[in-house]
Amino acid sequence: ETSFGNIKKLQNLVACIGAFSEVFLAEEKKTQRLVAIKCIPKKALQGKENSIENEIAVLHRIKHENIVSLEDIFESQSHLYLVMQLVSGGELFDRIVEKGFYTERDASKLIRQILDAVKYLHDMGIVHRDLKPENLLYYSMEEDSNIMISDFGLSKIEDSASVMSTACGTPGYVAPEVLAQKPYSKAVDCWSIGVISYILLCGYPPFYDEHDAKLFEQILKAEYEFDSPYWDDISDSAKDFISHLMEKDPTLRNTCEQALQHPWISGDTALDRNIHESVSAQIKKNFAKSKWKVRIPSFFSHLAFPTQQFYLIWLTWFAKNKLL
């Protein structure tokens, strides 16, 4: 048991040891409230300082009920300690699979929370750039728990003097303009939300191929279908909502604000039919974690510009604690 400041370390979260950080369960001495502490050896930050500094800079600026918060920072001669809000409800896909009843309306409520949080980020000039189901976690195990956005290691603070052009994100969720190596904007997050919405309603990704070059070609052309029979029982309103987010032209793509006003989100067009059996079966088939981990390195081999620095940073954040 270790103490520093108002925080008392309780135990290691053994499953939460990342590439260069460990995460500890801890409690505030005054309130006994549980928190998570990411402990990062400073020597491990050499060459990766920008990544952790970027996450800290972003987290310092945000406070939203659907975003994991940074609560404090401690520093010793050898380590950096990030005190984070403890999120213990598990990953999005796991919870859906565990449910016995799941509907379009459930998916709509989830996406509404994500849109609200990302709109908040965009209003502050922050682009997440790596929205994906693995970064969407439940605050608690309660049935009505909030969904939380985590992992700001790739986030970018927009300003008028800078244009984003760095290739980043996760295969299958990146917007066409990112793969096309064009300057891009916060619209990339809206594309990713469209992809997530698609998966939440059928259990499989809109773009898939064993060969990454063909996968990227599909994304660049925005080639996706609402396949039968998986989409036969899904409302036209849901399909329309997705189509406005997965618009190839970022200038025509719905913003978060526009998406929040869509009838599938703000109205009553989301159906209440149980789609759990088909969606959960497809999630289990298509999103085995080992399958996605194997595919990741090949994403970078097809990019036509140097990505080694980004690749190292990306691997660091992928390996990090999934409770944060």
CATH topology agreement for domains 2-85 and 92-318: no
User: Residue 62's pLDDT band (boundaries 50, 70, 90)?
Assistant: confident
The residue with greater pLDDT, 209 or 311, is 209
> What mean pLDDT is reported for the chain?
79
Distance separating alpha carbons of residues 288 and 197, to the nearest angstrom: 19
pLDDT above 90 as % of the chain:
43
Exposure string over 176-199, b if 16+ CB within 10 A, otherwise e: bbbbeeeebbbbbbbbbbbbbbbb
- Burial level of 43, CB count in 10 A (0-12/13-18/19+)? exposed
Predicted confidence at residue 169, as pLDDT, reads 46
Predicted confidence at residue 269, as pLDDT, reads 98
The residue with greater pLDDT, 260 or 129, is 260
The residue with greater pLDDT, 289 or 56, is 56
Query: Given the DSSP bridges, would you call strands 126-127 and 70-75 parallel, antiparallel or unpaired?
Result: unpaired
Q: Domain limits of the chain? A: 2-85, 92-318
The residue with greater pLDDT, 57 or 190, is 190
* 42-46, 69-73, 238-242, 269-273, range with the lowest pLDDT: 42-46
Exposure string over 79-91, b if 16+ CB within 10 A, otherwise e: bbbbbbbbbebbb
Exposure string over 145-168, b if 16+ CB within 10 A, otherwise e: bbbbbbbbbbbbebeeeeebeebb
Predicted confidence at residue 263, as pLDDT, reads 98
The residue annotated as part of the active site, out of 94, 116, 123, 130, is: 130
130 is catalytic: yes
Residues 79-125 pLDDT 10s = 888 888 888 898 999 999 998 899 999 999 999 999 999 999 999 88
Residues 133-179 pLDDT 10s = 988 999 999 999 999 998 665 445 554 334 444 444 467 888 999 88
Residues 20-43 pLDDT 10s = 567 788 888 888 888 888 888 888
pLDDT above 70 as % of the chain:
75
User: Residue 65's pLDDT band (boundaries 50, 70, 90)?
Assistant: very high
User: Residue 211's pLDDT band (boundaries 50, 70, 90)?
Assistant: confident
Average pLDDT over residues 192-203: 97
Predicted confidence at residue 27, as pLDDT, reads 82
**Are the CB atoms for 56 and 82 separated by under 8 Å?**
yes
Give yes or no for residue 294 having a pLDDT over 90: no
- The CATH number given to 2-85 is 3.30.200.20
Element spanning 58, H or E: helix 49-61
Q: In the CATH scheme, what is the homologous superfamily, with its name and number, of domain 92-318?
A: Transferase(Phosphotransferase) domain 1 (1.10.510.10)
Predicted confidence at residue 3, as pLDDT, reads 52
Q: Which residues pair with 74 in a beta bridge?
A: 81
**pTM for this one?**
0.78
